[in-house]
Amino acid sequence: MISVAKKQGRGHTTRSLVLGYAWPALAAVAVLAVTIATITGLTQRSSASAESAQHPKPLPVVTAPAPPLPSCPANATGKAIVVGLASQHMALCEDGRQISDVPVTTGSVDRGAGTPLGTWQIESHDVDRTLSGPGYTVFVHYWLHLFGDIGFHDSPWQKFPYGDTTKYRTQGSEGCIHVPGDQIKHLYEWAGDGTPVTITA
């Protein structure tokens, strides 16, 4: 019995020694695991930051609001035309109501040929006419004269869309108001001599 007790005592002592040495090793392994996890996390965050710096998010595009379209004079009687240079549109009015909105092209302001502001009236009508001035000679099918060498006419040579609020500044007319081919005939027939025309900014 004493011999057995001694063996059991030695076995218990051996297990205690093993556990005594194992705990520091386990603690070291745990510390190493935490260190590796920390380094891995920092590396991933660093990689994400580097990728974000290389590929920054695009800034939101801010679009300027479109210029307001020309409006008809309130309480007016009869026919009237209002041309808005900023919007590059023309309103046809009857008794204060707008009956049509037409895209147009006006004078090339950046070349010093902007369409003058003010109020005039249609002085005369003509068809199949050659218009000429300094540096240009063009043939038009419809011509509605306002004053001087300014008037409404078609422009089949125009390469960019009517109503474009940017290109007219450099590629617009010599001061006249270009009207699309499918609209100029209607304007010619609708607006008689004496129809008031207001050109606004």
* Catalytic residue numbers, as ranges: 153, 176
Residue 33: partners with Cβ closer than 8 Å, 6 or more residues away? none
The CA distance from 52 to 46, in Å, is 10
Question: Contact 155/178 with Cβ under 8 angstroms?
Answer: yes
Residue 142: partners with Cβ closer than 8 Å, 6 or more residues away? 125, 126, 127, 152, 153, 154, 179, 184, 185, 187, 188
- 54 alpha carbon, distance to own chain's centre: 27
The string of DSSP letters for 43-110 reads HHHHHHHHHHHHSPPPPPPPPPPPPPPP-PPTT--SEEEEEETTTTEEEEEETTEEEEEEE-B-B-GG
The CA distance from 108 to 105, in Å, is 9
| Maximum Cα interatomic distance, the chain, rounded to a whole number of Å | 138
